[in-house]
């Protein structure tokens, strides 16, 4: 290999590794290191590590963590590691939201997808958080289950690295609700994930109205329409019979042709 080729190859690898390092550095974060800077979140930080959610959060490129201070962690005491993991995963939003973005929601409300939703254990809207900006500017959080109230209020921002990670301090624990609006009922479902709403600040969580019932006149004509449609199978049957007859005739013609050809061949051999 010539010296010029060797130099070119060396430069290529240098720029490749340099660009890779810069990209990784600009998109990496460590939630444990971030929370270690404030002792008020030591219990929350410890539970993230115990449940394995810290490494899951660090593996994401875009995330928002709704952190609880030590005095708001009583709901997690006495629970199993698995239960704490489910509860904490509802406090991890799979998108970037800082204080400015939340207060700038065009419709003052949005439904946010959480890590609990992506776990496959959420039922219905359990894995979503409803965030709403009140008229006085307060930002409130609650379960995405229809009819649920608000559990927590945004206090302030702990840290942010736009647009990779945002850590927000909220006042209290957000409950996992079941479809009957009873708190803390956990479902473990192996069924596929329900359809997720679009990742859009303008998403309205109100469900579309049910389609109107058919008018009585349409119901009255139902039997008549069914009766009129009854002869259809007969037409299909006659069509099938026609097809069978055509196939039989074609088979007979082929047989006759084969007989004629055989006779001609035998006559030729005799001559």
Give 42 or 195, the one with higher predicted confidence: 42
Q: Note whether 97 and 112 are within 8 A (CB).
A: yes
- Reported as a pLDDT band with limits 50, 70 and 90, residue 23 is very low
Q: For the CA atoms of 106, 58, 187, 109, what is the dihedral angle to 10 degrees?
A: -10
Q: How far apart are CA 54 and CA 116, in angstroms?
A: 14
pLDDT above 70 covers what percent of the chain?
A: 56
Q: How far apart are CA 33 and CA 42, in angstroms?
A: 11
Give 18 or 270, the one with higher predicted confidence: 270
Give the pLDDT score at 138.
97
Q: How far apart are CA 221 and CA 101, in angstroms?
A: 55
- Reported as a pLDDT band with limits 50, 70 and 90, residue 28 is confident
Give the pLDDT score at 241.
45
Residue 28 backbone dihedrals phi, psi, to 5 degrees: -105, 150
Write out pLDDT tens, residues 65-95.
Answer: 999 999 999 999 999 999 999 999 999 999 9
Give the pLDDT score at 186.
44
Q: What is the 3-state secondary structure (H, E, C) of the chain?
A: CCHHHHHHHHHHHHHHHHHHHHHHHHCCCCHHHHHHCCHHHHHHHHHHHHHCHHHHHHCCCCEEEEECCHHHCHHHCCCCHHHHHHHHHCCEECCCCCHHHHHCCCCCEEEEEEHHHHCCCCCCCCCEEEEEECCCCCEEEEECCCCCCCCEEEEEEEEEECCCEEEEEECCCCCCECCCCCECCCCCCCCCCCCCCCCCCCCCCCCCCCCCCCCHHHHHCHHHHHHHHCCHHHHHHHHHHHHHHHHHHHHHHHHHHHHHHHHHHHHHHHC
- Size of the chain in residues: 271
User: Looking at the predicted structure, is the pLDDT value of residue 7 above 80?
Assistant: no
Give the pLDDT score at 178.
87
Q: Note whether 57 and 158 are within 8 A (CB).
A: no
Q: Which residues pair with 92 in a beta bridge?
A: 65
- Reported as a pLDDT band with limits 50, 70 and 90, residue 181 is low
Give the pLDDT score at 195.
36
């Amino acid at each position: 290999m010539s010296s010029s080729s060797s130099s070119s190859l060396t430069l290529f690898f240098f720029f490749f590794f340099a660009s890779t390092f810069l990209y990784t550095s600009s998109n990496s974060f460590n939630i444990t290191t971030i929370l270690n800077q404030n002792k008020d979140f030591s219990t929350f930080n410890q539970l993230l590590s115990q449940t394995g959610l810290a490494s899951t959060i660090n593996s994401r490129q875009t995330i928002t963590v709704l952190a609880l201070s030590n005095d708001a962690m009583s709901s997690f005491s006495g629970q199993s590691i698995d239960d704490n993991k489910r509860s904490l995963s509802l406090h991890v939003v799979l998108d970037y939201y800082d204080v400015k973005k939340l207060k700038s929601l065009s419709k003052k409300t949005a439904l946010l997808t959480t890590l609990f939703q992506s776990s496959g254990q959420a039922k219905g809207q359990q894995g979503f958080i409803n965030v709403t900006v009140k008229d006085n500017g307060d930002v409130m959080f609650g379960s995405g289950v229809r009819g649920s109230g608000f559990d927590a209020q945004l206090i302030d921002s702990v840290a942010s690295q736009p647009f990779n990670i945002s850590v927000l301090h909220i006042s209290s624990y957000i409950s996992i609700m079941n479809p009957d609006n009873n708190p803390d009922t956990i479902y473990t479902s192996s069924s596929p994930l329900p359809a997720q709403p679009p990742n859009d600040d303008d998403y309205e969580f109100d469900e579309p109205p049910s389609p109107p019932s058919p008018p009585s006149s349409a119901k009255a004509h139902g039997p008549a329409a069914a009766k009129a449609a009854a002869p259809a199978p007969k037409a299909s049957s006659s069509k099938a019979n026609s097809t069978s007859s055509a196939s039989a005739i074609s088979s007979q013609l082929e047989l006759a042709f084969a007989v004629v050809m055989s006779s001609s061949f035998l006559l030729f051999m005799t001559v």
